[in-house]
Structure 1
């Protein structure tokens, strides 16, 4: 025990030395100075690396939380997984922050960056697409040719390094690596496979940088005893931890896509036609599956059933459900009789069996601890089985064998982290709230203009946004972010602003996120319009960003499938979904957007919120109490004067 305490103190002392006024940061980082909040956080992390209790830290903008957790983690010599919520931060850690710190600290552990497989190019899919160019529309063919040219140069096949094609280009979906099409060692490109190489790099790495989606997907593999990608590391650090409750729900539950069943049936029919022409019954049963699925989906949509437990209570639905299940059962039994005749058919048969078992479990609804939900808000009808108590499931993951650290600039509601901890079952976690070192009263002005239109009146809201954006961007000399909660409003406001703004206008979708940010920084006086991707993980310091305009309070859509599942879970626990989920989530998202404005002690700027619910609804106080302590005004002219004074 004495030795354990000594090691803990030694790590804390070594970390403290790095942040001292004569430490390596002071020697290598221009303008470095000690920040008390950063020092406090690094000491808390040092302590957490040696104890079993998780640590939850909100570190406001400017604290320097990345270095605060990286320094003790690197000095500890332990194997560390760092999980982030955005690709931007993931790449910043792997390519900038960690290499820079390792050089300063004179450490040489192996570092690996691993993303989800959809972020990597599949050489086989690209080859197949270019092998049939007559079926590709000209625009996509141009992009595919650019991807092919890039594929010959890239070392890792990560689309994050592809700048010649927009990140929203449809051609990317044609060549992404995906589990369903992967043939493993039988693939002609197995040795060169970018996804396989990325995973191999994690095997002996000491520092592994992943994202939250990949982390939870890997945990599911562990539970199913399949081969996992990630080691059981000594330490797991979640940066941008505010995203975890929603992401955890998406992975802790099981989801089945009816579009996936359609693909399976299509592939089985194709294999039968090309390889087993003497087995026409396979095609007939596959067609029967299509017909049963079509009738079932039509009935689901007609009756509007969203609760899976009601499937068997509606006579017609019960009949169509069992007919669908029976059609799949007969097909899989027939495929089993043709076993070993076709490797490709055997592979699809295994997938169909897995789907059948999941669909059976959904229709039977035996587990009283699960929510069974049908989501048809999208063209692709989906079935979800999710645990009612997410916190209890998370407790199984966040076990005492690993050191767990959770951090973000936005975790609290009304100056407490309790709600976040409860959502993930972190009942014994140490909580630490560290405010921003910035002088928000002097540096920033928060304006909610008077006489705002109702945000639900789209026509009036667009006209209002247009007028405010023109005035604010003129006063700010460009240098503005305009953040939206929906692509629809972004497009309508962008259309209204074309020809009316005197500065270069960059609109999400015109280029990749990083491409737009690069242009924004280079131009120095641009106006950027964006949705969710630009609310967080974006850092523009200095005078190039002086104004942030937010269209409305970012409440999640009631139709959002993750939100609806969490609402049902809360309802079963007799909790109020609005105060337990919708409001905290909106507060965190708003704080993320606000956090784009002041990124440095020398920054000055104005935040304009075009939604008066924050001042005339009771719940508005919760937003105001959770925002940075900016000066406030209802007078738009004062905000414009503040912007005009920023040189």
Structure 2
């Protein structure tokens, strides 16, 4: 494709779009971002590795920029554009606002669709069976008695489906669907395969729409789940895709979560025992030709149950002898990835027995699928059996992942996974999480994709891309291009105030100081947001302020949407409104204009290394001769602080103040680096 043709298309699309927007004002930074994305896509920086990492500050309009640059190139190259986000709010913005805005003005034309996880769709077989009280359904799947309100809602859902008034996804139902009811209705992996004849399955109908779409909007979890399976399972294969990863600073943590595994020893054993009791029904369904495979499966179960039992007994014995001592939260981390002596051999046995079980499951599942074709009259009970087998397959896959992570060899150049044991109510759960996921992302996506554009308002930490680059597996000289565009906002219109304080967050009297300081900075203010580093501290401050007569909207006491709606109502009525929130309110919260003019940050967002993953990461950095505080805690705190401060200015006309109740920014040596990374607010320092 000649670059001139592509550039001509982009310019023409931009002209049509700008003419359609009343009062349109060109943004220099947005135009520069469009141009740089175009250069990367055309291979100007590296013809073999089209990867851009772009930090684009608030107000640039990065979503419209990457849509204008990427859609024409993807269409001309006959590739799919996958736009992945971390938050539902950004997905809704893309699907409800940005894509419909650009679509009429774009050449070549395009179709777009939102891809959602399987769990957002109902399984029509389950819906029908529950609505009709089909006893066959419960032969193989656990069901729970429904309350009267749940039964009424179930009847409404079934009737709407029969009348073609509901497409079968949870998000399109006009009212909240009860969680417990939805758990019994939702589609699950390995069930409802298209070859089983479900032309009206909501999940597979939605998946069919993906084939017709040119632009697919997804979340990071769904994208990485597909990539972890090799790509092309849910979404198109990476080689056929141009990826735009918005809110890209979430990619590494989501990849780490995607690679995690857990094995609850007691529940896992009991699930197998319960499954073993269902064999009478399976005997009837499989007929004579399937009895051999069924016998192999039963034998595999009878090997796997003792393997889980032995593992649990060995752990319990070590705990009783105090050879293993969990902390107060019931967590026991295996330091440096070193496993107890008995665990290595027990896991190897479990891994092999689980492989045999998985193969036997596959054979029986194949036989049942054949029976479904031969005996359509028994479709409901056969599909219920297939779904039960699918649940066991999921458990087998999770067990296999756990064993691999636990048994993965460690070496001087290999980052070991975080490995730990959780003890709760006499139940034991083995857990493992990979610490380094960069090589996985390289293998899954970077080395395979047609192009990758990563954007976010916060990709640098301490004014450098190094922290992000290491986290996602990029190298400084691998051909990836980096771009940093500052927000067009006038940051000097906002004041950053660090008051002189008697103590800092490490002192015992800090909670009392917050109870005294926060009311001082709320006095006379209209719209305030107070951000805390922990729920405990937020609750303590809320209790103290309410005792003084303050009316507060506190995270967790109502849904996020309800709190924000009430906050805006108060602001629109010229009444003071005070929002209290924790870390999740420091990102993605959009309160422009008079909805936020007074932002209070109670302390620097340093993560407390209490989780096994954080502890393992710090330990590994230390073992490699590094400094966990400077290499992990500081960059992450810098990024989170910039995000928190970013709640204040959301439009070019916004103004206000930020009060940071943490004197460590001026009293500790590292404070200067954190301050230097912040936007150029007008500073009032002690």
Question: Same-fold call, TM > 0.5?
Answer: yes
Match for residue 256 of structure 1 among 240, 253, 261: 261
* Contact 1:470 1:500 (C-alpha < 8 Å) held by counterparts: no
Aligned to 2:600: 549
* Contact 1:126 1:174 (C-alpha < 8 Å) held by counterparts: no
Aligned to 2:525: 476
Aligned to 1:644: none
After TM superposition, give the deviation of residue 417 of structure 1 in Å. 2.4
Aligned to 1:454: 504
Distance 1:191 1:485, change over 3 A: farther
1:540 to 2:566 alignment = no
Q: Distance in 1 between matches of 2:153 and 2:567?
A: 24
Q: Secondary structure at the match of 1:62?
A: coil
Q: Distance in 1 between matches of 2:497 and 2:645?
A: 12
Aligned to 1:394: 441
Q: Secondary structure at the match of 2:607?
A: coil
After TM superposition, give the deviation of residue 206 of structure 1 in Å. 0.5
After TM superposition, give the deviation of residue 93 of structure 1 in Å. 0.5
Aligned to 1:268: 272
1:229 to 2:235 alignment = yes
Q: Secondary structure at the match of 1:498?
A: helix
Distance 1:110 1:333, change over 3 A: closer
Where structure 1 has 5 or more consecutive residues not aligned to the other structure, the ranges are 636-647
For residues 192-237 of structure 1, what are the alpha-carbon distances to aligned partners after superposition, in whole Å with 9 as ceiling and x for unaligned?
A: 54433332221121011111121111111116xx734334344211
Where structure 2 has 5 or more consecutive residues not aligned to the other structure, the ranges are 284-294, 327-331, 369-381
Q: Distance in 2 between matches of 1:405 and 1:569?
A: 30
* Contact 2:276 2:301 (C-alpha < 8 Å) held by counterparts: yes
Aligned to 2:292: none
After TM superposition, give the deviation of residue 353 of structure 1 in Å. 5.2
* Contact 2:58 2:650 (C-alpha < 8 Å) held by counterparts: yes
Match for residue 35 of structure 1 among 9, 16, 27: 27
Distance 1:571 1:123, change over 3 A: farther
1:373 to 2:373 alignment = no
For residues 460-481 of structure 1, what are the alpha-carbon distances to aligned partners after superposition, in whole Å with 9 as ceiling and x for unaligned?
A: 444333333333333212x122
Aligned to 1:606: 657
Distance 1:181 1:346, change over 3 A: closer
Q: Distance in 2 between matches of 1:629 and 1:560?
A: 34
For residues 554-612 of structure 1, what are the alpha-carbon distances to aligned partners after superposition, in whole Å with 9 as ceiling and x for unaligned?
A: 22231335544544564565543332222111211111111111111211111122222
* Contact 2:118 2:189 (C-alpha < 8 Å) held by counterparts: no
Match for residue 295 of structure 1 among 296, 300, 313: 313
Aligned to 1:102: 103
Match for residue 55 of structure 1 among 49, 52, 56: 52
After TM superposition, give the deviation of residue 540 of structure 1 in Å. 1.6
Within 5 Å, give how 1:401-412 maps onto structure 2: 401-412=449-460
Aligned to 2:222: 214
After TM superposition, give the deviation of residue 634 of structure 1 in Å. 4.4
Distance 1:402 1:498, change over 3 A: same
1:463 to 2:512 alignment = yes
* Contact 1:466 1:496 (C-alpha < 8 Å) held by counterparts: yes
Distance 1:67 1:566, change over 3 A: farther
Q: Secondary structure at the match of 1:394?
A: helix
Distance 1:81 1:365, change over 3 A: closer
Q: Secondary structure at the match of 2:606?
A: coil
Within 5 Å, give how 1:172-571 maps onto structure 2: 174-175=183-184, 177=186, 179=188, 182-184=191-193, 190-222=198-230, 227-232=233-238, 233-251=240-258, 253=259, 255-259=260-264, 262-276=266-280, 288=306, 291-298=309-316, 299=318, 302=325, 304-307=332-335, 309-311=337-339, 314-318=340-344, 321=347, 343-344=385-386, 347=390, 350-351=393-394, 354=397, 357-362=400-405, 364-366=407-409, 368=411, 369=414, 371-376=416-421, 379=424, 381-384=429-432, 386=434, 388=436, 390-396=437-443, 397-399=445-447, 401-424=449-472, 425-427=474-476, 428-441=479-492, 443-456=493-506, 460-477=509-526, 479-498=527-546, 500=548, 502-503=550-551, 505-524=552-571, 525-564=576-615, 566-567=617-618, 570=621
Distance 1:613 1:514, change over 3 A: same
Q: Distance in 1 between matches of 2:130 and 2:605?
A: 40
1:619 to 2:623 alignment = no
* Contact 2:418 2:613 (C-alpha < 8 Å) held by counterparts: no
After TM superposition, give the deviation of residue 449 of structure 1 in Å. 2.3
Match for residue 71 of structure 1 among 50, 68, 73: 68
For residues 306-349 of structure 1, what are the alpha-carbon distances to aligned partners after superposition, in whole Å with 9 as ceiling and x for unaligned?
A: 248522xx445456656766886897899899996995575566
For residues 30-56 of structure 1, what are the alpha-carbon distances to aligned partners after superposition, in whole Å with 9 as ceiling and x for unaligned?
A: 443122111211111222222243222
Q: Distance in 2 between matches of 1:58 and 1:258?
A: 39
Aligned to 2:287: none
Distance 1:348 1:499, change over 3 A: closer
After TM superposition, give the deviation of residue 423 of structure 1 in Å. 3.1
* Contact 1:307 1:372 (C-alpha < 8 Å) held by counterparts: no
* Contact 2:72 2:107 (C-alpha < 8 Å) held by counterparts: no
* Contact 1:222 1:228 (C-alpha < 8 Å) held by counterparts: no
- Count of residue pairs brought into register by the alignment: 610
Distance 1:39 1:349, change over 3 A: closer
* Contact 2:207 2:234 (C-alpha < 8 Å) held by counterparts: no
* Contact 1:118 1:176 (C-alpha < 8 Å) held by counterparts: no
* Contact 1:12 1:43 (C-alpha < 8 Å) held by counterparts: no
Distance 1:213 1:30, change over 3 A: same
Q: Distance in 1 between matches of 2:653 and 2:252?
A: 34
- More displaced, 52-61 or 100-109? 100-109
Distance 1:367 1:95, change over 3 A: same
After TM superposition, give the deviation of residue 550 of structure 1 in Å. 1.9
Match for residue 5 of structure 2 among 2, 7, 12: 7
* Contact 2:554 2:579 (C-alpha < 8 Å) held by counterparts: yes
Q: Distance in 2 between matches of 1:531 and 1:56?
A: 28
Q: Distance in 1 between matches of 2:145 and 2:577?
A: 36
Q: Distance in 2 between matches of 1:463 and 1:163?
A: 45
After TM superposition, give the deviation of residue 29 of structure 1 in Å. 3.1
Q: Distance in 1 between matches of 2:465 and 2:311?
A: 46
Q: Distance in 2 between matches of 1:128 and 1:463?
A: 57
Q: Distance in 2 between matches of 1:212 and 1:172?
A: 27
Q: Secondary structure at the match of 2:63?
A: helix
For residues 242-288 of structure 1, what are the alpha-carbon distances to aligned partners after superposition, in whole Å with 9 as ceiling and x for unaligned?
A: 1122223333x4x32113x6554333322333443999999976764
Distance 1:56 1:347, change over 3 A: closer
Q: Distance in 2 between matches of 1:330 and 1:34?
A: 63
- More displaced, 525-534 or 407-416? 525-534
* Contact 2:415 2:435 (C-alpha < 8 Å) held by counterparts: yes
After TM superposition, give the deviation of residue 291 of structure 1 in Å. 3.5
Q: Secondary structure at the match of 2:652?
A: coil
